[in-house]
Amino acid sequence: HEHTMLRTSTVDQDLADFLLELGARARGHGDQDLAVVLLSDHGVVYGDFYEKSAQGRQENALPFYEVLMPHKFGETFPAAFEALARNEDRLVTHYDVYHTLRHLLTFPDAEPTADLTRPLADLAGTSLLAPVAHDRTCEDVGISAHFCTCNDMDELSPADKVLMAEFVAGEVNNERALLTAGGPPSSCHDIVVDEIVAGSWTATPPRALRAHLAERIVSLEFFTRPGPGFGRQRFLASVRTNDWRF
């Protein structure tokens, strides 16, 4: 959580030494049952790189994920190893990491019975030691439209960005008014759009397909004007529209 990304480099050598030590241990002691998973929960979430570049926002939604498996695993279970490699080019989530770790505990037997106390994780994920469907969608795995990177997006015009930002701010203000109506005096204030960071919507499909793709998704990010007792706030919003124009 440091927008210059310089602080992260201070652990580079320690991480490299740790991984080299694990590798040496595996080679020297035949430790062939060691799997290493390196992952991040998200990419950079603030600062100029995120707020002013499409690349920054893309990296935020596609965090680092690496799995290191021993050579013996690939030799003994080639089908699972091939599936793991193939899934590198498939849509996967942290829910899949959860399922994969559970599966490794019992592999080569099947993954343990689903834990019903964690319904979302059990419904949305699958072990990566088996092939993931090539046509998997964000909706299939519980990724919200705002963070889905599978859709081709077109940049909104400046005027449409303003239109959508004002619409979102109005909806938030209306909801606040409903929640506080009839109650004691509230310290909540209406939000006012101050700066629009980004605005895009799903690309227009061929005309022949529009009848089957009735809606488009608008993704928007903006800052609100500072108010009494609080500074600028960043809002991320997704809006579904059934109209192909504004």
The two tokens of residue 228 are: 């009494």
Q: Is the pTM of this model over 0.85?
A: no
Q: What is the pLDDT of residues 68-99, one digit of tens each?
A: 888 888 889 999 999 999 999 999 988 898 88
Q: What is the pLDDT of residues 142-168, one digit of tens each?
A: 887 777 888 778 888 999 999 999 999
Q: Which residues contact 12 (CB under 8 A, 6 or more apart)?
A: none
C-alpha to C-alpha distance for 104 and 158, rounded to whole angstroms: 50
C-alpha to C-alpha distance for 139 and 145, rounded to whole angstroms: 8
Phi, psi of 245 (to 5 degrees): -155, 165
Torsion sign, CA atoms 176, 177, 182, 188: positive
**Quick check: 183 pLDDT over 50?**
yes
Within 10 Å of residue 84's Cβ, how many Cβ atoms? 21
C-alpha to C-alpha distance for 183 and 15, rounded to whole angstroms: 54
**Quick check: 120 pLDDT over 60?**
no
